[in-house]
Structure 1
Amino acid sequence: MSHHSISGSAVALVTPFTENDTIDTAALRRLVQFHCAAGTDIIIPCGTTGESPTLSDEEQYEIIDIVREEADGRLMVAAGAGTNNTRKAVAMAENACRAGAEAILSVAPYYNKPSQEGYYRHYHHIAEAVDKPVIIYNVPGRTGSNVSADTILRLASDCRNIAAVKEASDNMDQIMQLIDDKPDGFTVLTGEDPLILPFMALGGDGVISVAANQVPGEIKQLITLVQAGRLEEARLINNRLRRLIRLNFIESNPVPVKYSLALMGLVRESYRLPLVAMEESKKELMKKELESLGLIS
């Protein structure tokens, strides 16, 4: 995979914590090795799935630095570095680049609901401040408002290093507009695991996936099969993973996926407030599904 193209299978990585709430660096290194072995193309620490709102600047730096060192060039390291205060988002992006991130994933400002011009200027500032590729992260379900396709395409044509969008809406109309009208070299990724098959079939470039934490090899295979036009085989994998993908959002991400990884022996089941463990009945559902997929015995 060319390190310039932000495409293929990207994992929205969880952040493993120890029982006393510090970064579990040994588990973090294990996760990177797990993804290198599985053929994941891009690893993205410090995003929403990595509990980014609870990480300090020092922790963000440390996590990215460890992931980069452990990856050792075998996969691309992009990093979550966004917030709803533009000045702070710029500082976070600079911090991530200093730590060795090869690209920046920057969430659309949430809660304060800027206009489209506000979104445009926010991303323009970030793109000017760093020399690494920037991925716009549009997630209306979490931010409270939508970055329009027109705004994303305007940024893609005006800023040399705005390189991709993680489109985490299920707005097919908007997705199609992005795929149809994107400039050369700009990639469109889905942030919605349930949409991987239709999204890739429509001409999307890849996924930033939560389920890739648990089944990185199969998410990569699903993408490869659709790209090769082997839809029957892709559908089999998609059907096999559909229940797992749904259970990953039985409570707010990353609680279910982190519980899974704990059962799989990859991390401790440790969250930072305000996130807490799921109730037993939900755990039972996830456990059964992991057993039926053969991920735990």
Structure 2
Amino acid sequence: MTTQFHGIIGYTVTPFSHAGEQLDLPALGQCIERLIDSGVHVIAPLGSTGEGAYLSDSEWQQVAEYSLGSIAKRVPSIVSVSDLTTTGAIRRARFAQAHGADALMVLPTAYWKLSEREIVQHYRAIAASVDLPIMLYNNPATSGTDMPVELILRIVREIDNVTMVKESTGDIQRMHKLHVLGEGQVPFYNGCNPLALESFAAGAKGWCTAACNLIPELNLELYHAVLAGDLEQAKTLFYRQLPLLEFILKGGLPATVKAGLTLTGLDAGEPRRPVFALDQQNIEKLQVLLAQLR
């Protein structure tokens, strides 16, 4: 990799109209500008927070092209190209590369349970279709596929441009195992907000999070405290933001982050159905949590 991916990797929402039907690209542009202005190190469109799984192919392409044009290489980008089919993921991977993505993220989403051979071939085919580095994404809660560390490392070792791992099971032991079995040579990234402190201690190169849409300063301060080796400051910063991190995870990222953006002055609309917007009771809880962090 020529581009180094590290630090706070910010995940964008995909703003819709309030009915969740039409894309609101200007609001997406505002979201991206906020993230860049806040100082995040990388921007990642079309992940779980960006509701990539709920977009038509045409919508996905519009969001990818608009996002990459707005980012304009000011910071590196990682575009999620996950799709149920290998053909669909390849089509998205090529589109993202053609429009300037710096890296791709691939989650092996599945309706039928995939064998290890099928998972390996899925990554092999996508990797062969592009020249970009690929971040392998393990998140069984959304994909239905849990890749053991041994399989992850096999894919990284056998497929040249699968160079990074995003680990989102919420099991810190997975990261320890990635470090040990990977002999410290495989960059891995935390995708579980409540594990931010532990994951950095375990050697994670970065934190993939949507929280930086709402509290970027605290996210960045935590990373900088870790880099400085100031464990006490890192702990203080982590525990201060932990209630919000847990809230947005449990409440569902698109709903909670969009509600939080609206509370902070950027109307990102509602999630696409069947996902509901945050109800009034939880909006009030979120408002209190955000007020406590100002």
Q: Using structure 2 for the length normalisation, give the TM-score.
A: 0.93
* Distance across 2 between alignment mates of 1:60 and 1:271: 15
Q: In the alignment, what sits opposite 2:191?
A: 191
SS of the residue corresponding to residue 250 of structure 2 reads: coil
2:166 alignment partner, SS class: strand
**Structure-2 residue corresponding to 1:39:** 39
- For the residues of structure 1 that align with 2:11 and 2:2, how far apart are their CA atoms? 18
Q: 1:128 to 1:30 in 2, by over 3 A?
A: same
SS in 2 for 1:137: strand
Question: Does the CA contact (< 8 Å) of 1:106 and 1:134 recur in 2?
Answer: yes
- Please tell me the residue identity of whatever aligns with 1:96: A
| Identity between Structure 1 and Structure 2 (%) | 28
Please state how far the C-alpha of 1:71 moved relative to its aligned partner.
Answer: 2.0
Please give the alpha-carbon distance, in whole angstroms, between the structure 2 residues aligned to 1:117 and 1:212: 36
8 Å contact 1:40–1:217 — kept in the other structure?
no
Distance 2:253 2:32 in 1: 20
Q: Give distance in 2, aligned partners of 1:198 and 1:93.
A: 32
Counterpart position of 1:240? 240
Contact 1:3/1:76 (<8 A) preserved = no
Gaps of 5+ in 1: none
Partner of 2:71: 71
Q: Which residue pairs with 2:293 in the alignment?
A: 293
**1:17 partnered with 2:13:** no
Find the aligned partners of 1:19 and 1:248 in 2 and give their Cα distance.
20
| Deviating more after overlay: 60-69 vs 180-189 | 180-189
Are 1:127 and 1:159, in contact at CA under 8 Å, matched by a contact in 2? yes
In the alignment, does 2:139 pair up with 1:133? no
Higher relative contact order (CA 8 A, sep 6+): 2
Structure 1 pair 284–52 and aligned structure 2 pair: CA distance change class (3 A): same
Is 1:253 aligned to 2:253, yes or no? yes
| 2:283 aligned partner | 283
Count of aligned pairs: 293
Counterpart position of 2:208: 208
What are the within-5 Å matches in structure 2 for residues 97-246 of structure 1? 97-182=97-182, 186-246=186-246
Unaligned runs of 5+ in 2: none
Find the residue that maps to 1:249 and give its secondary structure: helix
Which residue identity does 2:182 align to in structure 1?
Answer: K
Q: CA deviation at 1:51?
A: 0.8
CA distance in 2, matches of 1:287, 1:111: 37
How far the C-alpha of 1:184 sits from its partner, in A, is 7.5
Provide the C-alpha distance between the structure 2 equivalents of 1:274 and 1:99, rounded to a whole number of angstroms.
30
- Equivalent AA in structure 2 for residue 81 of structure 1: V
| Residue range with higher mean Cα deviation, 74-83 or 109-118 | 109-118
- Please give the TM-score of this superposition, normalised by the length of structure 1: 0.92
Task: Output the amino acid matched with 2:171.
Answer: N
In 1, Cα distance between equivalents of 2:28 and 2:278: 22
Correspondences of 1:47-62 after superposition (within 5 Å): 47-62=47-62
**C-alpha separation in 2, matches of 1:110 and 1:215:** 33
CA pair 57-100 structure 1, distance change in 2 beyond 3 A: farther
The amino acid across from 1:193 in the alignment is N
